[in-house]
């Protein structure tokens, strides 16, 4: 199979109707914050145990097509006696292992309050190693902040340029890139402002992807939804979010992109699911599959059920599967009733 055909096949399998991507790539500092919220110390062992709970959940393969891993997690194994490496476990279930490869967002020189993502240095070597360890797709997150006189064109250009170079390097390594330009929900801005900034961002991102000869049939786009800021006094309803998100994507995303896997971006699990469900119910002429690549929106119930206690393991897995199934149902356009979490 040629490299381009392999990339297309992986990309299409990641966005199969009824399935989505679990983002389990939280960095160790992020894990520490989340574990502290449930009174659990974050250690190599506790992080390993928690990821084991997620990945060994009964029936996960029915709803999850791929899992984004952190570097540490890619090298960890199941906690049972067999000690199966996580990439091997996921592959055995027909789930594609992925890897977070960016090094985080740093201050953009000369542009206060704006960020640019780092991680291109040494990326070729890391991708080669990750491929050997079993990763077949990758993720790079760019952060776009809305505020007074920002984002600037320079910020959007810098992040789009890095996303394109990352995507090109991934494809050369036989790895499907998830392209994630996230316009943050933080602030007081309206849904209209989110729409304008997201549209600007997507236009420039796809210009850069084209400039670097990235095979669009071999990528996954992971954008934010068009949504009111967290502290905006007027919160757009589900129908408006669905309609404006779809319109923005239709205008800016080429039809040969195989799928769009939304980030939850701080939305509650229920809201992220409802927005995805409404889009798939309402818009029947989409050229790409719309699905999910959620972190907190999939894991929140699991984490709070587990609380670091082994006796809660089964209940935590059941909570995760309910969330995964809800979002699986939300990728269909049949108006199926979403299950309520317990």
The answer, as to whether pTM is greater than 0.85, is: yes
* Paired residues of 137 in beta bridges: 98, 176
Contact 78, 86 (CB under 8 A): yes
Q: What is the pLDDT of residue 221?
A: 98
Terminal CA-CA length for the chain: 45
Distance in angstroms (rounded) separating the CA atoms of residues 175 and 89:
19
Q: Of the listed 26, 114, 180, 182, which one is catalytic? A: 180
180 classed as catalytic: yes
**In a 3-state reduction of DSSP, which class is residue 159?**
helix
Q: For residue 224, report the phi and psi dihedrals to the nearest 5 degrees.
A: -75, 160
CB 216 within 8 A of CB 176: no
CA atoms within 13 A on the CB side of 61: 11
Q: How far is CA 261 from CA 23, 133, 201, 268, in A?
A: 11, 24, 17, 17
**pLDDT value of residue 342:** 46
SS3 call for 107: strand
**What's the pLDDT at 335?**
53
Distance separating alpha carbons of residues 320 and 22, to the nearest angstrom: 11
Cα 85 to Cα 64, 137, 155, 257, distances in angstroms = 18, 17, 39, 32
pLDDT recorded at residue 29:
94
Residues 93 and 8: their CA atoms lie apart, in Å, by: 20
Beta-strand ranges (E) seen in the chain are: 20-24, 64-69, 96-100, 105-107, 115-117, 137-144, 176-183, 220-221, 259-262, 289-294
Listed as ranges, residues in the chain with pLDDT below 70 are 1-2, 333-342
220 contacts 137 by C-beta, under 8 angstroms: yes
CA distance 78 to 128: 24
Give the whole-angstrom CA distance, residue 331 versus residue 244: 18
C-alpha span between 229 and 253 (Å, rounded): 23
Instruction: Choose the catalytic residue: 19, 222, 277, 278.
Output: 222
Per DSSP bridges, beta strands 105-107 and 115-117 are antiparallel
* CA–CA distances in Å: residue 243 to residues 193, 218, 278: 15, 26, 9
Question: Rounded to the nearest 5°, which phi and psi values hold at 131?
Answer: -60, -45
Mapping DSSP to helix (H, G, I), strand (E, B) and coil, where does residue 168 land?
A: helix
Do the Cβ atoms of 328 and 18 come closer than 8 Å?
yes
Cis geometry, peptide bond prior to residue 151 (ω within 30 degrees of 0): yes
Tell me how many degrees the CA angle 216-218-219 measures, rounded to the nearest 5. 75
In CATH, which superfamily holds the domain spanning 3-330?
Aldolase class I (3.20.20.70)
List the domain boundaries for the chain. 3-330
Distance from C-alpha of 131 to C-alpha of 127, rounded to nearest angstrom = 6
DSSP 150: B
Amino acid 337: pLDDT = 55
Name the β-bridge partners of 68: 23, 98
């Amino acid at each position: 199979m040629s490299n381009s055909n392999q990339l297309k096949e992986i990309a299409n399998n990641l966005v199969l109707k009824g399935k989505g991507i679990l983002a389990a790539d939280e960095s160790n500092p992020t894990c520490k914050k989340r574990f502290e919220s449930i009174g659990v110390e974050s250690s190599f062992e506790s992080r390993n145990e928690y990821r084991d709970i997620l990945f060994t959940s009964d029936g996960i393969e029915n709803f999850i097509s791929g899992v984004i891993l952190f570097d540490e997690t890619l090298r960890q194994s199941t906690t049972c006696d067999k000690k199966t490496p996580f990439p091997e476990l996921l592959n055995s279930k027909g789930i594609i292992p992925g890897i977070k490869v960016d090094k985080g967002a740093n201050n953009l020189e000369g542009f206060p309050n704006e960020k640019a993502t780092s991680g291109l240095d040494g990326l070729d070597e890391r991708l080669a190693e990750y491929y050997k360890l079993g990763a077949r797709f990758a993720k790079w997150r760019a952060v776009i902040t809305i505020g007074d006189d920002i984002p600037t064109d320079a910020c959007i250009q810098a992040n789009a340029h890095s996303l394109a170079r990352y995507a090109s390097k991934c494809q050369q390594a036989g790895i499907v890139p998830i392209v994630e330009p996230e316009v943050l929900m933080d602030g007081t801005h309206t849904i209209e402002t989110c729409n304008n900034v997201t549209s600007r961002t997507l236009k420039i991102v796809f210009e850069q992807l084209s400039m670097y000869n990235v095979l669009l049939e071999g990528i996954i786009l992971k954008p934010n939804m068009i949504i009111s800021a967290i502290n905006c006094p007027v919160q757009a309803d589900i129908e408006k979010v669905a309609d404006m998100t779809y319109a923005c994507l239709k205008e800016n995303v080429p039809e040969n992109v195989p799928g769009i896997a939304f980030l939850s971006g701080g939305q509650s699990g229920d809201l992220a699911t409802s927005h995805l469900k409404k889009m798939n119910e309402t818009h029947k002429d989409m050229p790409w599959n719309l699905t999910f690549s959620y972190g907190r929106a999939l894991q929140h119930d699991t984490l709070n059920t587990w609380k670091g206690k082994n006796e809660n393991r089964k209940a935590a897995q059941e909570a995760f599967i309910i969330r995964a199934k809800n979002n699986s149902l939300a990728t269909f356009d049949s108006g199926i009733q979403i299950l309520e979490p317990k």
